[in-house]
Amino acid sequence: WDEGPDKPNPKYAPYHQTERKDLYHRYIKQLLDQGLAYKDYATEEELTEMRDAQRAKGEAPHYDGRWYGRSEAEQQAAEAQGLKPSVRLHMPANHEYAWDDIIKGHVSFNSDNMGGDFIIEKSNGMPTYNFAVVIDDYLMDITDVLRGDDHIANTPKQIAVYEALGITPPNFGHITLIYNPKTRKKLSKRDKETLQFISQYKNQGYLSEAIFNFIAFLGWSPVGEKEIFSREELIKLYDPSRMSKSPAYFDQNKLDWTNAEYIKKLDLDDMTDRVLNLVDEGQTDIAKQVRGLQLPDLRGFTKQICKIYQSEVYQLSQIMKKIVWYSNILDEEIDYSQLNQFDRDETLAVLKSFRSHVQALQEDVVARDFNQIIKDVSVDTGVKGRNLYFPLNVSFTGSQSAPQINEILQLYSTSTIIALLNKAISAL
């Protein structure tokens, strides 16, 4: 936000409604003095009895205006009984409250179908939402109100307050709600298929830039086919007239794709920093596991894994999982049955030849050219292509597919490479 309790604008502060009660009471008193609002001493029991009687008649529950126009003597009698009044806005009969919605077009409600005179101040002296928000928006010079579609029934009540006070309402736009594509129902706190809190997305390694981009596209689209925009570009392009009237669907696959696109564009050092920040601050199990590793150079190890998998991952938490996997590779369960898909004798020849070349290396050699070793193994054994690479991938990564086997091998000490080859050879 541009302003708020943490960076107040003297013209509009304070921002907490509990600190603005005097402002609200000033306008409540104005409406009471003009006879546009009145005190209501009906008890909760009376209101319940009234609503039950209306339902029994097949009527929609509404306030029947029983305290409108009551004398001062009647009010004093109620006060003498210890009753504390709420304040209600008097609604004119058969009156249209209409506006040209930025998204929905012309919208109108008839006052006869809005539940009768509604409370603008509760008996405890606090204003209701539909009153306070009008005063806040008016005093803060709000020109345009964009909010969820579920607020549309509140808008005519707020317009009624604006009209009673003689104030011009702002422009209203009601944005489509976000739906679950599987259930076709709007997202809710009970929707367990979707992460509930922004902190969860952060802990999983979704980038703030990607979340910003993704949310901007929910119920809105720019001109053209481009889908990845910077924050500055979105601010410049954002046009309320291009908002959709149809529900927006929260597509997890689209979010993952968007995040992956942003990860691919990260500078390698920046990506490394972000992963390590997740490790330091994250409360997920995988972050805790990485924190528990005893790596002599966690940053260097992380940077190397980022370099290998930057174009492969869609969450930074996947990098943390790779850190744990590769640092504990000798203890990981590798499915060596995958090697049975290849000729056993050829595979053994490849693994043993690779072991011989690695054994010839000095343990402390820094520059190890594994691409050259792979070429030498191919010459030694006559094995090429997938029959050469897939057994090595399984032996060193646990998977037949490895993005950059040469880079992955650089993660291991020479003794670890030999130990992994011995395990694979033993399994065969």
pLDDT for 191:
78
Averaged pLDDT, 374-389: 94
CB 134 within 8 A of CB 158: yes
- Do both 23 and 168 map to the same domain? yes
Let me know if residue 125 belongs to a domain: yes
Let me know if residue 190 belongs to a domain: no
Q: Is the pLDDT of residue 366 over 80?
A: no
Question: What phi and psi values does residue 9 have, to the nearest 5 degrees?
Answer: -95, 115
Last residue of a domain, one of 141, 175, 209: 175
Q: Is the pLDDT of residue 417 over 80?
A: yes
Mean pLDDT of the chain: 93
Lowest-confidence region among 184-193, 206-215, 378-387: 184-193
Model pLDDT for residues 251-306, shown as the tens digit of each residue: 999 999 999 999 999 999 999 999 999 999 988 999 999 999 989 999 999 999 99
Burial of 15 (0-12, 13-18, 19+ CB in 10 A): middle
- Do both 35 and 171 map to the same domain? yes
Let me know if residue 183 belongs to a domain: no
Let me know if residue 318 belongs to a domain: yes
Q: Please report, for the domain that includes residue 254, its CATH number.
A: 1.10.1160.10
For the chain, how many structural domains are there in total? 4
pLDDT for 60:
92
SS3 content of the chain, % helix, strand, coil (to 5): 50, 10, 40
For residue 256, what are the contacts with CB-CB under 8 A and spacing of at least 6? 314, 315
- Do both 375 and 303 map to the same domain? no
If one counts every other C-beta atom within 10 angstroms of the C-beta of residue 43, the result is: 11
Q: Measured in Å, how far apart are the chain's first and last C-alpha atoms?
A: 62
Q: Is the pLDDT of residue 154 over 90?
A: yes
Model pLDDT for residues 74-128, shown as the tens digit of each residue: 999 999 999 999 999 999 999 999 999 999 999 999 999 999 999 999 999 999 9
Q: Please report, for the domain that includes residue 347, its CATH number.
A: 1.10.10.350
- Do both 301 and 154 map to the same domain? no
Let me know if residue 156 belongs to a domain: yes
Task: With 0.75 as the threshold, say if the pTM is over it.
Answer: yes
Query: What range does the domain containing 402 cover?
Result: 337-427
Give dist(CA 88, CA 402) in Å, integer: 69
Let me know if residue 12 belongs to a domain: no
- Do both 141 and 48 map to the same domain? yes
Q: Is the pLDDT of residue 146 over 90?
A: yes
Q: Is the pLDDT of residue 364 over 60?
A: no
Among 356, 164, 204, smallest CA distance to 284 is for 204
Query: What percentage of the chain carries pLDDT values higher than 70?
Result: 99
Let me know if residue 186 belongs to a domain: no
Q: Please report, for the domain that includes residue 55, its CATH number.
A: 3.40.50.620
pLDDT for 48:
95
- Do both 259 and 385 map to the same domain? no
Averaged pLDDT, 27-38: 97
Lowest-confidence region among 184-198, 199-213, 312-326: 184-198
> 287 forms bridges with which residues in the sheet?
none
Residue 46's pLDDT band (cuts 50, 70, 90): very high
> 172 forms bridges with which residues in the sheet?
145
- Do both 77 and 221 map to the same domain? no
Helix (H, G, I), strand (E, B) or coil at 185: coil
Q: Is the pLDDT of residue 371 over 90?
A: yes
pLDDT for 365:
54
Last residue of a domain, one of 264, 284, 304: 264
Averaged pLDDT, 364-368: 65
Averaged pLDDT, 407-424: 94
